[in-house]
């Protein structure tokens, strides 16, 4: 039994070689690990490896393939890559090489101002629109010279998290936002 | 004497205030907007009143609704916390007109200190040093230019009604004056409905050090020493400590006396904070007074051994202060880290969402003030501060070691947060040495945002765990498929033994 | 210098010790029995070694296995915690033979203080007051009768090797002497393999007050003031506080000096506790010395501002004490409540089981040291102490108010526990006044075990909630059946309006 | 819709009169409650009644009918009485009036000593057996004069929680145990 697992930019091949009760033998990219592996609670595990004690908490992110992972000292984002995920990844790549970027709302909010029109050429750093969310106004800027391919929102409109707002056409891929917000001292 | 307290706030500060009321045996009333029906302050208070829709302007800032809730619940006192109506002189005034005790200063003190220019004048009159600059509002560009000519560049242009960094512009070159002035005034107009600005000398390498004061209605006033608040991002404090690593005992005494004099100058009653800007030669200047409880008040509570909310309540009850300046001392060292639901990797964008898991640090020297619980959905309408870690040590070294330990143990899942960013701050060489100014975050930005290196075993074990969990869930979904694997341990070890021969 | 610490213990104390090691940057090794694979100390340490089956005699008391674990993991020091091997001179001796630093006193100090009769003699020689009684073991009944004749009834018969209340008998009438002597010796034989007993004058209305001491290898010794431990059930402490509500500053100074002299008499090195029995006239007598960390050490940490585990480690490293007696002071007041998995309603029977839910108190002045988590199965092999609540206040009144607040917030579900019992203790008039002796629990038994009255609304709301949850689950199981109910609110209010006319 | 709910010794009749979103109207023994009733988490609720804030945590005890309940100030044991529970209760009562008591092990342990024989007459306070559990020996005594009807365990035997150990025949029903155990100070 083996899968690919993605962590940061690394994709590792994991293989379960053997299992007897709590004793596991697993290979990660060919390196073998003999582990004492016990479940504490739903999604929470204690692992002893060469007497070292590791605690791993898995918090699912949308389903069973993606996890936010806490260890004692670190946090990670991990994804199990199975057939479906591979298909989606290849499709995503196709889009990207097409030279388009979709600017999406990171959190729910309201579009305060749209500062460009469809078809308009924009400079690097030029503000495309302003989104108001969580007591704060954020400017969404173009990371490089580009063309506004599509405007999917209008002023005053409410948007959901991850809702697409603007489609840009350019090569370099970078998105920045810049916001100020009043917090208490 | 106060019999029931309405807490006109939300989040960790509302919970914290209710705690002290509970210890005093005072029943409490929480108020909540639509978004906050399940918020911890509602669950924790004895009573709860709905005060309107989610936007603060329609609920937590709605004076009528809050006064109505006090009437309905029979609360005879209101604690405003920080933010919201805490520094609104109209609200303080309204409470006293309604015969409700406002746990805070008079509207006179709030308005005097709330307007920066009036505050400057009052302080100057009281002999409190202020940053060189204008004592009147600047309305024309010519005036601005002539003032800048007098005090010399660099200068800071500030909105008179401002706060939280809005309506502020730094001017370093003469050519920038006009655009900066225009920008500051337009921002001030939008944010505060008032475009009055003033100009101050810009202090390079500044420290932000504030003094906690308490003053009663009987003419007694004391200070409870300082808090070093120079770890800021865009004028928002992130980590505070006390004592300040740069003050000398002598300078501490002077600044404390100045803080008490500043409070007396407005006949202050209650808890308040005098903020100073301090340069590298320890010259200090009055910056502003916060006429309310401060977010970072717990570090003072820890080293001075005082419950500031209880002191506020006693003062509001008209009792004389029992604290004597000569008996107060700073005991050990305390550090506060503010935990925000925000994404440091994405320009600290607020990150609302559902908290799926929390591990809170415990043990010797650790205090946590928070307002979230597992399953709680952090609403997107309010300040993203979700918890404060307050750590004490017998000296700065121990406080730092303990803060590191506690931050490592602190975990929040489900919402993005700045816990890792805080860890990097307390590990940064400048912070460890106590050698930092308000430019600290900006100057160390890159290092503070860098991902930590990880030993590869640890990463592999994370990979294995996720993989095993996935297998377990798949097996549950379609049992049988994987059972073949289960009992081949013996076979495998036999194979390995053979291979080793 | 110590490089890696093996903690030869489990439960809250193992976790607490690891915390301080972590702050000092010392890696830690946990040890665990079969029953403890999922225990918190295993999860919290950097490394973990299995040391045997569940019964302590085969694991936590197994010297070979623990030394083996230290060898295997490369730990160069062992912290024994309390209980288990912490006061075993053979273990201390063995560690030093193996070149492992035992974080505790020498085997000489342990054995001198461990045998009650030797300790009595040593203390008498050092001028420390002891309770009138025998200085030699009693083996015959005649001898016992003649001793009792001398010192007068009532007397206490105690096992020489005893501890924890085993092998102790109170004799109030002459007719009870023989049976009590027989019972004490047989119990001592069973419990400690040694039936030697001795006889002491029984102090009526006694207080149990102990002094924390620290002594280094350079001839420095200090005391860190007292802990009042008179709230006991069957010689088991339940609630402790410091300062003691009955001591005068003068008597405190005397007893502190006596405690330091007692420690010096055995060339003590490390942290230790001198237990005194104190009568209502404040006469005090040496009771015993505990040559280890005490369960209740955190209240001393809080008011004196010292991390005792770190001090132990520094002393074990051969460093000189940095604390000076004349600079030490008691700052405010601290109370510890011990939370046990036990059933007060069923004679405090230990109650192992699975912890399904925990709410831990937070905020100003509250520290919790614990070793359980949601989902953890408390094993039945060990001491049922699962957490300690340590609360600080600026004075006894505030500490009490805060303890009450914290206990109300503290909830553990899934296992029976004594939280309600603790609440009743801190609310009992005798405790509130600070006027209590070791008979407090026994004298107030009835009131302390009585269920609290409950306002009927609250009870009805509990009933409604359980009912609604049940309906919800039933509806989930067979949906549709109950939907008819959902939309008749309007109809119902209409009916009610009509009825009101 | 109505059920009986048992709390302490009280049996209350509860009726859901109406429900609209979070707004409930419920009657308990005829007293009406209009509540704002919201679920926070699984088994955890926030209730506002006349502005008073109540938090109720329900922890199921063996299934869905019995709950350990935490409120802010108190803890309760609550049981929903439905048809099956009613039947069991009546059966239990029948047994009790028959004058027999079954002595069960409160926690898992080991029978150290059995001090009576089947058929033996015992006095009030006489020790029947000694159970060793959790570092502690507990004596199980007869609460009143009785006859040992049945001995279900023998010396050295391990017992589970709630396992029956001795059946006594007598009128008065009381069971005591008395144990000492070494705890640390």
Q: Give the neighbours of chain C: at least 3 Cβ pairs within 8 Å.
A: A, B, D
Nearest chain C Cα distance for residue B15, angstroms: 9
Task: Enumerate the β-bridge partners of residue D104.
Answer: D164
* Contact at CB, C164 and D80, closer than 8 angstroms: no
Q: What is the pLDDT of residue B164?
A: 58
Q: Check B42 against D46: CB less than 8 A apart.
A: yes
Nearest to B131 by CA among B114, B143, B141, B117: B117
Q: Which of C29, C45, C374 sits opposite A41 (nearest CB)?
A: C374
C215 touches chain A (CB under 8 A): no
Percent of chain A with pLDDT over 70: 78
According to DSSP, the residues that pair with D15 across neighbouring strands are D2, D27
What per-residue confidence (pLDDT) applies to C70? Answer: 98
Higher pLDDT pick, A106 / D117: D117
Tokens, residue C6: 């093996």
pLDDT at position D92: 52
Q: Do D56 and C349 touch (CB under 8 A)?
A: no
The nearest CA of chain D is from the CA of C460 a distance in Å of 7
In this prediction, residue A84 has a pLDDT band, given cuts at 50, 70 and 90, of low
pLDDT of residue A183: 66
Angle formed at CA B400 by CA B394 and CA B405, multiple of 5 degrees = 110
Chains sharing 3 or more CB pairs under 8 A with chain D: B, C
Q: What is the mean pLDDT of residues C44-68?
A: 96
Domain range list for chain D: 2-81, 91-175
Percentage of chain C beyond pLDDT 70 is 93
**Topology (CATH level 3) of domain D2-81:** Glycoprotein, Type 4 Pilin (3.30.700)
* pLDDT tens-digit map of A70-82: 887 788 899 998 7
pLDDT band at C352 (very low <50, low <70, confident <90, very high): confident
Q: Which two tokens stand for residue C355?
A: 């912890």
B386–chain A nearest CA distance, Å: 12
Q: Which helix (H) or strand (E) holds B430?
A: helix B429-433
Task: Return the residue of C nearest to A47 by Cα.
Answer: C43
Average confidence score pLDDT of chain C: 90
Would you say residue A66 has pLDDT above 60?
A: yes
CB contact under 8 A, C305 and B401: no
DSSP structure class, residue C262: H
* CB B116 within 8 Å of CB B130: no
Q: Determine the Cα–Cα distance for residues B67 and B75; give it in Å rounded to an integer.
A: 9
CB C394 to CB B298 under 8 A? Answer: no
Q: What is the pLDDT of residue D136?
A: 64
Mean pLDDT of D39-68: 88
In chain B, which residues have pLDDT < 50? Answer: 481-501
**What does the pLDDT read at residue C357?**
84
* Chain C residue nearest residue A41, CA to CA: C375
* Token reading at C304: 């004196």
| Inter-chain residue contact C367 with B369, CB threshold 8 Å | no
Task: List all residues 6 or more positions away from C473 whose beta carbon is below 8 Å from its beta carbon.
Answer: D64
Q: Is C481 on the interface with D (CB under 8 A)?
A: no
- The closest CB to that of D55, out of B37, B43, B374, belongs to B43
Q: Distance between CA B294 and CA C136 in Å, rounded?
A: 65
Q: Are B104 and B94 in contact (CB under 8 A)?
A: no
Indicate yes or no: CB of C364 within 8 angstroms of CB of B398.
Answer: no
Residues of A in contact with C29 (CB under 8 A): 51
User: So which residues of B are the catalytic ones?
Assistant: 292
Q: How much is the pLDDT for C276? A: 97
Q: Are B385 and B14 in contact (CB under 8 A)?
A: no
Q: How far apart are CA B420 and CA B168, in angstroms?
A: 29
Chains B and A touch (3+ CB pairs under 8 A): yes
The band of A91, judged by pLDDT with boundaries at 50, 70 and 90, is very low
pLDDT by residue (tens digit) across C10-26? 999 999 999 999 999 99
Distance from CA of A51 to the nearest CA of C (A): 5
Chains D and C are in contact, defined as 3 or more C-beta pairs closer than 8 angstroms: yes
Contact A24, A32 (CB under 8 A): no
* Paired strand residues for D129: D114, D140
> Which residues of A are less than 8 Å from B166 in CB distance?
180, 182
Chain centroid offset of residue C366 CA: 18
Q: Which helix (H) or strand (E) holds B401?
A: helix B396-409
Distance from CA of A72 to the nearest CA of C (A): 8
Q: What's the CA gap between D111 and A30, in Å, rounded?
A: 52
Of residues C497 and B29, more confidently modeled: B29
CATH of domain D91-175: 2.40.50.100
Pick the catalytic residue from C10, C292, C302, C424. C292
Nearest to B302 by CA among B231, B371, B388: B388
A157 at the B interface (CB within 8 A)? no
- CB spacing of C42 vs A46 below 8 angstroms: yes
Q: Do B229 and A76 touch (CB under 8 A)?
A: no
Which range, of A135-144, C236-245, C280-289, averages the lowest pLDDT? A135-144
B43 touches chain C (CB under 8 A): no
Helix-then-strand count for chain A, H and E = 1, 17
> D176: which chain C residues are within 8 Å (Cβ-Cβ)?
347
What DSSP string runs through B284-304? EEEEEEE-S--TTHHHHHHHH
Inter-chain contacts counted by CB atoms under 8 A, chains C and D: 179
Q: Is B345 an 8 Å CB contact of chain A?
A: no
For residues A118-128, give the mean pLDDT.
84
Give the pLDDT mean for C98-126.
93
What DSSP character marks residue C31?
E
CB-CB neighbors (< 8 A) of D70 in chain B: none
Put simply, the answer to whether C473 touches D65 (Cβ < 8 Å) is no
**pLDDT given for residue D179 in this prediction:** 35
ipTM score for this prediction: 0.77
| C271 near D CB under 8 A | no
Give, in order, the Cα–Cα distances in Å from D164 to each of A128, C106, C180: 76, 50, 35
User: From the CB of residue B178, how many other CB atoms can be counted at a distance below 10 Å?
Assistant: 13
- Burial of residue C193 (number of CB atoms within 10 Å: 0-12, 13-18, 19+): exposed
CA distance D103 to D169: 11
Segment D8-31 shows an average pLDDT of 92
């Amino acid at each position: 039994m083996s899968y690919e697992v993605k962590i940061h930019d690394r994709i590792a091949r994991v293989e379960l070689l053997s299992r007897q009760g709590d004793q596991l033998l697993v290979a990660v990219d060919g390196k073998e690990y003999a582990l004492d592996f016990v479940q504490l609670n739903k999604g929470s595990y204690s692992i002893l490896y060469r007497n070292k004690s590791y605690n791993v908490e898995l918090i699912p992110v949308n389903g069973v393939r993606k996890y936010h992972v806490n260890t004692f000292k670190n946090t990670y984002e991990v994804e199990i890559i199975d057939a479906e995920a591979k298909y989606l990844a290849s499709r995503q790549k196709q889009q990207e090489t097409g030279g388009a970027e979709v600017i999406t709302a990171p959190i729910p909010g309201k579009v305060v101002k749209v500062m460009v029109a469809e078809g308009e050429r924009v400079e690097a750093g030029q503000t495309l629109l302003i989104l108001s969310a969580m007591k704060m106004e954020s400017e969404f800027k173009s990371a490089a010279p580009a063309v506004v391919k599509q405007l999917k929102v209008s002023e005053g409109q409410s948007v959901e998290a991850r809702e697409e707002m603007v489609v840009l056409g350019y090569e370099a891929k970078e998105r920045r936002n810049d916001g100020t917000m009043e917090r208490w001292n | 004497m106060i019999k029931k307290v309405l807490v006109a706030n939300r989040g960790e500060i509302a919970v914290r205030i209710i705690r002290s009321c509970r210890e005093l045996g005072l029943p409490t009333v929480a108020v909540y907007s639509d978004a906050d029906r399940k918020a911890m302050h509602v669950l924790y208070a004895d009573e709860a009143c709905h005060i309107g829709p989610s936007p603060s302007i329609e609920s937590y800032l709605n004076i009528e609704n809050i006064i109505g809730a006090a009437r309905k619940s029979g609360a005879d006192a209101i604690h405003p916390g920080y933010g919201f109506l805490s520094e609104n002189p109209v609200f303080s005034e309204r409470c006293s007109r309604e015969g409700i005790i406002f746990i805070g200063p008079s509207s006179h003190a709030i308005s005097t200190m709330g307007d920066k220019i009036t505050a400057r004048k009052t302080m100057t009159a009281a002999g409190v040093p202020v940053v060189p600059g204008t004592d009147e509002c600047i309305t024309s560009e010519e005036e601005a230019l002539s003032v800048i000519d007098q005090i010399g560049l660099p200068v800071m242009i500030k909105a008179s009604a401002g706060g939280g960094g809005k309506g502020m512009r730094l001017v370093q070159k003469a050519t920038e004056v006009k655009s900066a002035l225009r920008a500051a005034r337009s921002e001030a107009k939008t944010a505060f409905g008032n475009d009055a600005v003033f100009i101050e000398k810009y202090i390079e390498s500044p420290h932000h050090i504030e003094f906690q004061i308490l003053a009663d209605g009987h003419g007694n006033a004391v200070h409870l020493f300082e808090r070093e608040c120079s770890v800021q991002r865009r004028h928002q404090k992130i980590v505070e400590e006390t004592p300040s690593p740069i003050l000398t005992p002598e300078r501490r005494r002077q600044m404390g006396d100045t803080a008490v004099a500043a409070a007396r100058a407005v006949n202050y009653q209650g808890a308040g904070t005098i903020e100073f800007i301090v340069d590298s030669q320890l010259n200090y200047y009055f910056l502003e007074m916060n006429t309310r409880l401060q977010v970072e008040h717990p570090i003072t509570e820890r080293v001075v051994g005082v419950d500031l909310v209880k002191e506020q309540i006693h003062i509001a009850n008209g009792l004389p202060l029992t604290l004597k300046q000569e008996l107060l001392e700073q005991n050990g060292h305390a550090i506060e880290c503010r935990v925000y639901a925000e994404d440091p990797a994405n320009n600290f964008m607020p990150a609302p969402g559902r908290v799926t898991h929390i591990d809170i640090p415990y043990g010797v020297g650790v205090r946590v003030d928070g307002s979230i619980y597992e399953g709680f959905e952090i609403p997107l309408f309010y300040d993203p501060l979700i918890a404060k870690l307050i750590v004490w040590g017998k000296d700065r070294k121990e406080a730092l070691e303990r803060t590191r330990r506690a931050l490592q143990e602190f975990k929040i899942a489900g919402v993005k947060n700045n816990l890792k960013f805080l860890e990097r701050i307390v590990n940064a060489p400048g912070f460890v040495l106590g050698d930092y100014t308000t430019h600290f975050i900006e100057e160390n930005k890159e290092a503070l945002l860098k991902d930590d290196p990880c030993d590869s075993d640890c990463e592999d074990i994370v990979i294995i765990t996720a993989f095993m969990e996935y297998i377990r869930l798949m097996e549950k979904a379609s049992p049988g498929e994987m059972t073949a694997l289960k009992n081949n341990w013996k076979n495998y070890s036999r194979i390995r033994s053979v291979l080793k021969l």
